[in-house]
Amino acid sequence: MLQLRENVSLKNFNTFGIDVYARYFVKIAYEDDLKELFLDPKWLQIPRLVLGGGSNVLFTKDFEGLVIRMNIRGIEHRINHEEVYVEAGAGENWNELVNYCVGHNFAGMENLSLIPGSVGASPVQNIGAYGVELKDVFDSCRAFEISTQQIKTFVKEACGFGYRESVFKGELKNQFIITSVKFKLSLQPKVNTTYGAIKDELQNRGISDPTISDVSKAVSQIRVSKLPDPSTIGNAGSFFKNPIVGLAQFIRLKEVFPDVVSFPAGENQIKLAAGWLIEQCGWKGKVVGQTGTYKNQALVLVNHGGARGAEIFALSSQIIDSVYNKFGVVLQREVNVF
């Protein structure tokens, strides 16, 4: 039986630790719970928010609608020759899934270690880190269509994956609720150490022929050194996307700022390091009231304790303005703002 609650604090359901309230709140443990929920047409007519780990949201006010907390659990795998298919419930913790795969020597997800959040949110955002994106290991997902109350399967080609984008953030936004995700991995590891920081960390560890476990540990160490623990300092990880600019604009930038940090991003496209841009504007480690940027990574906005979401949003706007004024580059927020 579903337990619908009213006026629920979301402080413990978002990694910024913002104390706002949901008008209505429900936990979903099974796909059939969604069907039961939407038998009542009331929930079709008010604002809804599907919440996983709460690691990619910034609440600036109370949510005057229904918060659906996904708690569908379970991990299964099936081996087919050298291929492995791993399916996980939307409510599973992302890093616990990565650890499950690395522990079973299922290769492909090790570069995505220690990313906060839930499995169900991973395709929505096409999460990525250190040279790998979700789409690189994605096979399909099951999703509940709210209007028809039916389960639909989305293969990779139907998801419209882009840089931190998918159809679930675009044309199909608020129409589907992901219930499980299936990944295609391999028993034959092809480790990806192209990201410079991984190479350096492995070298520091004296490892020249790394296993996927070695890569996972290296990535985890890098993330720990750069990103604060949300249980200690409220944050949502990287607050901004790394901006992508055309080659001509990059050449002009390079002439003025020879040290600009960049990466290839496709034909005539260059990805800039948002953290570097922000740091050059003097924001790294800066404290503004109860908020600020993290001392080790300017890309991360933090709640030093008691900050309101509106304060953090205002700080992000100041950062966007200063980066544009200095570099002519527009930063986009990666975090979803409500």
Q: What residues are annotated to the active site? A: 164, 238, 334
Q: Give the chain's length.
A: 338
Please give the backbone phi and psi of residue 200, each rounded to the nearest 5 degrees, phi first: -65, -45
214 contacts 207 by C-beta, under 8 angstroms: yes
Half-sphere exposure of 49 (CA within 13 A, CB side): 25
325 contacts 319 by C-beta, under 8 angstroms: no
Task: Return the H-helix or E-strand segment holding 76.
Answer: strand 75-80
8 contacts 21 by C-beta, under 8 angstroms: yes
Give dist(CA 338, CA 318) in Å, integer.
18
Give dist(CA 293, CA 316) in Å, integer.
10
Please give the backbone phi and psi of residue 182, each rounded to the nearest 5 degrees, phi first: -110, 135
Please give the backbone phi and psi of residue 104, each rounded to the nearest 5 degrees, phi first: -95, 5
Give the pair of three-digit tokens for residue 97: 């899934």
CA distances (Å), origin 292, targets 85, 279, 296, 298, 319: 42, 12, 12, 9, 10
**Which of 35, 26, 71, 40 has its CA nearest to residue 150?**
35
Pairing outcome for strands 63-70 and 48-51: parallel
313 contacts 58 by C-beta, under 8 angstroms: yes
Pairing outcome for strands 21-28 and 63-70: parallel
